[in-house]
A = this chain, B = another copy of it.
Amino acid sequence: MPATPVGPTDPMAVPRFAGLATFARLPQLDQVDGADVVVVGVPFDSGTTYRPGARFGPAHVRESSRLLRPYNPELEVGPFSSQQVADAGDIACNPFDIKEAVDQIEAGARLLARGGTRLVSVGGDHTIALPLLRVMAELHGPVAVLHFDAHLDTWDTYFGAPYTHGTPFRRASEEGLIDPRRSVHVGTRGPLYAASDLSETEELGYGVISCSAIDRLGPVGTAAAVRDRLGRGPVYVSVDIDVLDPAHAPGTGTPEAGGMTSRELFGLVRSLKGSEIVSADVVEVAPAYDHAQITGIAAAHITYELISLMALDNGRTNAEQR
């Protein structure tokens, strides 16, 4: 990794609204000598059951990330100055064959993650979490999954399809990719198919902290409950943007009223300070339903917080290695 990371384009020389849209105006991956963290788009939405359009998510989140500045005052870290972060572009995949696309995403992610690079994948629909978790488990063994979502995403099949945006976390559990004592859904709400949805997801290895539970626990209690569940060890964070209320994230495919505010979500994510975030995804941004980039900006910002956590952990890891 380079001694001095190449950071975002200087806004004093090039206004924020100018220049090609890379995430946070960061360099493209082929413009730097490797990266500690890459932001990579996965423009795939053929696993969507309701409103499609998350295929345009990566482009939209990039455009919505132009305002991100280099210092995170809440986590007291410069996420782009203490580690090399780059935009790896998009993983291309087949929009007409889910199985092939899943394989392409897995192969693409594997290639990027070589040498310890952490990934923050920007979807695309939630189908993409499965191949990403395959790569994570390959590198780290079963990981804790911290899954922010209105939905459980542990359904079995839909129209006979095993891989859709409603099933990745069942598949991941079945494939042994997750640590079943340390994984948890946060922010769930809305009607289910049956009461057994909840018992089944727990059998698959996930705790559940619903929006009502968040109301009962309060922000501090919720953060403690999440940290307790995650324990120590590698954590994969998966953020379905529909964990936010439609007021905060209208641009998504299966919106549920009664959700989290972006402020709650940021606070909760920041409380992960000290965790070992090995990789992460931010999915289900469907720009056709967004307005004034509300959803895109929230998604870009949560991506920024995740990279900041990686910077802190990276620092810690480096320190330990010394």
CB of A176 closer than 8 Å to a CB of B: no
A258 touches B262 (CB 8 A): yes
What DSSP secondary structure best describes chain A's contact surface?
Answer: loop
CB of A61 closer than 8 Å to a CB of B: no
B292 touches A251 (CB 8 A): yes
Q: Which residue of B lies closest to A78 (CB)?
A: B194
Residues 42-67 of A, flagged 1 when their CB comes within 8 A of B and 0 if not, give: 01011111111101101100110011
User: Taking the full assembly, how many copies of this chain does it contain?
Assistant: 6
Contact (A291, B258) CB under 8 Å given A15-B55, A195-B76: no
Cα A95 to Cα B127 in complex, Å, equals 14
B191 touches A72 (CB 8 A): yes
A contacts, CB < 8 Å to B: 12-22, 28, 41, 43, 45-53, 55-56, 58-59, 62-63, 66-74, 76, 78, 87, 89-90, 92-98, 158-161, 164, 189-195, 197-198, 210-212, 215, 219, 245-248, 250-251, 254-259, 261-263, 266-267, 288-294, 297-298, 301-302, 304
A246 touches B297 (CB 8 A): yes
Q: Which of B22, B49, B52, B197 contacts A71 (CB 8 A)?
A: B197
B17 touches A71 (CB 8 A): no
B191 touches A71 (CB 8 A): yes
16 contacts between A and B (CB under 8 A): A15-B95, A17-B59, A18-B43, A20-B21, A21-B59, A45-B52, A53-B288, A73-B192, A73-B195, A189-B263, A215-B219, A245-B261, A246-B297, A247-B294, A261-B261, A291-B291
